[in-house]
């Protein structure tokens, strides 16, 4: 029993460290003065903190513009993904229709093709369609990536809301649309918000498609990767950039972690 | 206030026939119960009446208006759902006035009607609560109040008591009867509980496999079931059915079985005599008398078990290959295996066709 418990606790410690240690180190480094980062032997605890490193990153060429680009792409992604996933999820949750299983399978199937395989044909096609190096192009790819998740989440949210509530609203004089807007949507809102936030994080962090499909209009991860790989950006730029990338996801997950857990609990079922 | 006419309703789900060909007239202000086992189409009928199901065929007429093509909100109905369907994100007050708001009733009138409804259901103190803070019984009351404030022509209820515990169910049953007396909306009430049906209904429509088998007053349904199904579905314990032979002896209809001869009263006539005389004898447990001595009109049997059930006892008797349940007074005593004789009250005997199960005795 004690041995078992010891095993569980060690696993917890290892897994937590696996996730948390890089976050802690990157955060420390992002607020360390430049000379400490280059000092040898390197100290774990910097002892002196400064905002200079972060300010250097934020003031670097293209960073602010790419943050704006990332935000635009994320919002577009959310809009596109919801335009498709919300009705699909609702239909899957509410109706038995011909081809229902096929739709569910198709949603899973999109996850079968790795983005790497699709990247070159995709880039060619986007150049042909005039979508290359445009934010909407990146948003379309991000939406494609997130649609399966969002559909599953949205559908589980609507499954959790009894259809009888809509019917009750209809017997009380609502039209089908009014019943949906007045009864179902308010109840679904937290779940839909969680799905939107999830989509935001997915788009904010996505680097592969963003790098391949943009040249001048970089999103933040694409810009950082490019600076690091092509231009050999200095260490403090890398740490500050890494911290900046991780920040929104961290904050959001912290805020909605309890809700996300119940959401997954429902979805996994 | 409105009468309802259902004309030749038919509803199928793929190959499954939910309602076959259902016609029914419901009077203004009547409390009609749709009763039947699960899957008999009673809920589908109610939902078709509400406009929540599209019919394959047939017409629904409420108060003289053909509402078959109208959406639920335009039919002058209000409905209480089995799950209550109280909106969880709204306070009790907002739940109750939801329909009035949709109708564009003025806020003052909303308040007035909500207070009247709440008084009728005794939930005025709950106005500011959310449904999650209410008990099942209170939620039920909110659902009923929400329907009643609409002052509907027709009030529809789908097994409203089935999610309550036994004691609360008994209490709410009486409450619903009182509320119907005060509101006087034409009410259609779906249940699978025959006691509920008998206690609430002005008339009961017993359904089986998408058809109405019998529609009559509770007393007629109980005393003169139209067929074997109705007799065995209603009453606790249900009507006994034994095979027997119908003969005419000395000009009187007589049932013969196991050497006993039960002459029927001269006034009673058979509507369709079976060719070989084989019939099903239907008799309710309370219409059988137990005697210790043989008699020409008494059936011999052996006691299987005697169960006290409060105000009376339930005696299980084996008669040939059949099992017969008899209600006996609480002081009655018998041992298992004991030989006894059963005397059927001839006025209360029902005869059914052995093949079809349909009643054949007037």
Domains of chain A: 1-60 (no CATH), 62-264 (1.10.3720.10)
Structure tokens at B216: 């009559």
Instruction: Check A172 against B78: CB less than 8 A apart.
Output: yes
Q: Which of A94, A168, A177 to mutate to test the interface with B (most CBs of B within 10 A)?
A: A168
Question: Domain spanning B4-233 has what CATH number?
Answer: 3.40.50.300
* Residue B10: CB atoms within 10 Å: 16
- Looking at per-residue pLDDT, the higher value among A47 and A182 belongs to A182
Instruction: Check B79 against A168: CB less than 8 A apart.
Output: yes
What average pLDDT score do residues A55-82 get? 89
* Residue B274: CB atoms within 10 Å: 18
Nearest to A187 among B77, B88, B156 (CB): B88
Window 96-115 of B, Cβ < 8 Å to A: 98-99, 102-103
Instruction: Check B72 against A170: CB less than 8 A apart.
Output: yes
User: How high is the pLDDT of residue A268?
Assistant: 39
Interface residues of chain A, partner chain B, Cβ below 8 Å: 162, 164-165, 167-176, 178, 183, 186-187
Structure tokens at B21: 């060909």
Chain B residues with CB under 8 Å of A162 CB are 83, 85
User: How high is the pLDDT of residue B335?
Assistant: 86
Is the CB of residue B85 less than 8 Å away from at least one CB of chain A? yes
Report domain B240-353's class.
mainly beta
Tell me the HSE value of B63 on the side-chain side, using a 13 A CA sphere: 12
Establish, for the pair of chains A and B, how many residue pairs have beta carbons separated by less than 8 Å. Answer: 58
Structure tokens at B103: 């109708």
Is the CB of residue B79 less than 8 Å away from at least one CB of chain A? yes
User: How high is the pLDDT of residue A156?
Assistant: 86
Q: Where in chain B is the domain with CATH 3.40.50.300?
A: 4-233
Instruction: Check A171 against B77: CB less than 8 A apart.
Output: yes
Tell me the HSE value of A49 on the side-chain side, using a 13 A CA sphere: 5
Nearest CA in chain B to A162: B85
Element at B325 (helix H, strand E)? strand B322-328
Nearest to A167 among B78, B85, B103 (CB): B85
Smallest CA–CA distance, residue A165 to chain B, in Å, is 5
Instruction: Check B52 against A167: CB less than 8 A apart.
Output: yes
User: How high is the pLDDT of residue A123?
Assistant: 85
Q: Where in chain B is the domain with CATH 2.40.50.140?
A: 240-353
pTM, rounded to two decimals: 0.79
**Dihedral through CA A128, CA A131, CA A137, CA A141, nearest 10?**
0
pLDDT in single tens digits along all 362 residues of chain B: 689 999 999 999 988 999 999 999 999 999 999 999 988 999 999 999 999 999 999 999 999 899 999 999 889 899 999 988 999 889 999 999 999 999 989 999 999 999 998 988 888 899 999 998 888 889 999 999 999 999 999 999 999 988 888 888 888 899 899 989 988 899 999 999 999 999 999 999 999 999 999 999 999 999 999 999 999 999 888 999 998 888 888 878 888 888 888 888 887 778 877 778 888 899 999 999 998 888 888 899 999 999 998 888 999 999 988 999 999 998 888 888 899 999 999 889 888 888 888 888 76
Q: In 3D, which of B159, B208, B155, B193 has the Cα closest to residue B41?
A: B208
Q: For residue A269, what pLDDT band results from cuts at 50, 70 and 90?
A: very low
Smallest CA–CA distance, residue B13 to chain A, in Å, is 11
User: How high is the pLDDT of residue B115?
Assistant: 92
DSSP codes of every residue in B164-190: S-HHHHHHHHHHHHHHHHHH--EEEEE
pLDDT of A263 above 70:
no
Chain B residues with CB under 8 Å of A178 CB are 102
* Residue A119: CB atoms within 10 Å: 16
Q: How far is CA B200 from CA B6, B56, B300, in A?
A: 21, 31, 39
Is A206 within 8 Å of A143 (Cβ atoms)? no
pLDDT of A264 above 70:
no
Is B84 within 8 Å of B223 (Cβ atoms)? no
What average pLDDT score do residues A220-231 get? 83
Instruction: Check B73 against A170: CB less than 8 A apart.
Output: yes
Q: Whats the size of chain A, residue-wise?
A: 269
Is the CB of residue B73 less than 8 Å away from at least one CB of chain A? yes
User: How high is the pLDDT of residue A267?
Assistant: 43
């Amino acid at each position: 029993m004690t041995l078992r418990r010891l095993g569980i606790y060690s696993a917890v410690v290892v897994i937590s460290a696996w996730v948390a240690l890089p976050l802690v180190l990157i955060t420390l480094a992002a607020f360390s003065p430049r000379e400490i980062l280059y000092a040898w032997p390197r100290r774990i605890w910097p002892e002196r903190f400064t905002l200079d490193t972060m300010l250097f990153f934020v003031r670097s060429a293209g960073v602010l513009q790419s943050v704006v680009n990332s935000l635009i792409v994320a919002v577009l992604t959310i809009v596109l993904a919801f335009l498709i996933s919300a009705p699909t999820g609702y239909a899957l949750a509410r109706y038995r229709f011909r081809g229902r299983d096929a739709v569910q399978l198709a949603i899973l199937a999109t996850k079968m093709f790795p983005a790497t395989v699709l990247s070159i044909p995709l880039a060619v096609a986007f150049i042909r369609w005039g979508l290359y190096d445009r934010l909407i192009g990146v948003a379309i790819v991000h939406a494609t990536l997130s649609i399966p998740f969002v559909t599953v989440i949205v559908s589980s949210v609507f499954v959790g809301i009894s259809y009888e509530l809509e019917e009750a609203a209809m017997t009380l004089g609502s039209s089908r649309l009014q019943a949906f807007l007045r009864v179902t949507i308010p109840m679904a809102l937290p779940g839909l918000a969680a799905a939107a936030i999830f989509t935001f994080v997915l788009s904010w962090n996505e680097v592969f498609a963003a790098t391949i499909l943009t040249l001048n209009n970089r999103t933040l991860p694409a810009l950082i990767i490019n600076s690091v790989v092509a231009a050999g950006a200095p260490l403090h730029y890398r740490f500050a950039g890494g911290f900046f990338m991780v920040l929104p996801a961290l904050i959001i997950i912290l805020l909605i972690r309890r809700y996300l857990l119940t959401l997954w609990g429902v979805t996994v079922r | 206030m409105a009468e309802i006419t259902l004309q030749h309703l038919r509803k199928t789900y793929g190959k499954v026939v939910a309602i076959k060909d259902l016609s029914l007239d419901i009077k203004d202000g009547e409390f009609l119960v749709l009763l039947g086992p699960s899957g008999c189409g009673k809920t589908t009928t109610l939902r078709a009446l509400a406009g929540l199901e599209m019919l394959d065929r047939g017409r629904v007429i409420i108060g003289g208006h053909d509402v078959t093509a109208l959406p639920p909100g335009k039919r002058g109905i209000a409905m209480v759902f089995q799950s209550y369907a109280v909106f969880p994100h709204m306070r009790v007050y907002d739940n109750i006035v939801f329909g009035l708001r949709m109708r564009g009733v003025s806020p003052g009138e909303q308040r007035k009607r909500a207070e009247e409804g709440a008084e009728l259901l005794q939930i005025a103190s709950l106005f500011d609560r959310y449904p999650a803070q209410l008990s099942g019984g209170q939620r039920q009351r909110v659902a009923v109040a929400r329907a009643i404030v609409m002052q509907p022509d027709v009030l529809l209820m789908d097994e409203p008591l089935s999610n309550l515990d036994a004691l609360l169910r008994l209490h709410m049953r009486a409450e619903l009867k009182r509320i119907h007396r005060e509101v006087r909306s034409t009410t259609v009430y779906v249940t699978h509980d025959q006691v509920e049906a008998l206690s609430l209904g002005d008339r009961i429509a017993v359904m089986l496999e998408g058809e109405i088998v019998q529609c009559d007053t509770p007393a007629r349904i109980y005393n003169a079931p139209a067929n074997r199904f109705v007799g065995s579905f209603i009453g606790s314990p249900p009507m006994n059915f034994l095979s027997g032979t119908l003969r005419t002896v000395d000009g009187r209809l007589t049932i013969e079985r196991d050497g006993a001869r039960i002459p029927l009263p001269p006034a009673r006539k058979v509507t369709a005599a079976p060719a070989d005389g084989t019939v099903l004898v239907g008799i309710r447990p309370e219409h059988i008398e137990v005697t210790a001595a043989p008699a020409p009109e008494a059936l011999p049997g052996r006691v299987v078990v005697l169960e006290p059930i409060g105000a009376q006892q339930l005696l299980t008797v084996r008669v040939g290959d059949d099992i017969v349940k008899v209600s006996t007074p609480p002081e009655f005593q018998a041992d298992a295996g004991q030989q006894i004789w059963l005397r059927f009250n001839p006025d209360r005997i029902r005869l059914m066709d052995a093949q079809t199960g349909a009643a054949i005795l007037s």
